Amino acid sequence: MIVQKIIEDKLVGRFQADYLQVINESHNHSVPPNSETHFKVTIVCDEFEGVRLIMRHRLINELLAEEIAGPVHALALHTYTPTQWAEKSQSSPESAKCLGGGK
């Protein structure tokens, strides 16, 4: 849970999120047990108002550049304004199932 905690801490330190969820989805992939390589981030923030989706993702990717260059293989980002989050019934989409690695 070290990488997950680092991701959470960096996001909390940078954004004043109304909602933040970081899920380690590594167990759904062909990786060794207890891996921290695949994550799903859902973040709801006023700061995203008027910011295009690509720019929201760039902000997070820049913040987590060290993790992405190192242990993180995949990072699914779901970034919403509070209004968008309410329109989505406060839920993000399910992640796709892993098709690789013979699992």
Residue 57 and residue 70: Cα distance in Å, rounded? 18
Residue with tokens 């550049």: 65
Which value, in Å, is the radius of gyration of the alpha carbons in the chain?
A: 14
* Domain boundaries defined on the chain: 2-87
Take residue 95 and report the two structure tokens written for it.
């992640």
Q: Is 85 helix (H, G, I), strand (E, B) or coil?
A: helix
pLDDT band of residue 93 (cuts 50, 70, 90) is confident
Q: Is 40 helix (H, G, I), strand (E, B) or coil?
A: strand
pLDDT at residue 27, as a whole number:
76
**Whether the predicted model's global pTM rises above the 0.75 cut:** yes
Domain 2-87 fold is GMP Synthetase; Chain A, domain 3 (3.30.300)
Residues pairing with 22 in the sheet? 41
Residues pairing with 17 in the sheet? 45
Q: What confidence tens digit (pLDDT) does each residue in 28-85 have?
A: 777 777 778 889 999 999 999 999 999 999 999 999 999 999 999 889 999 999 999 9
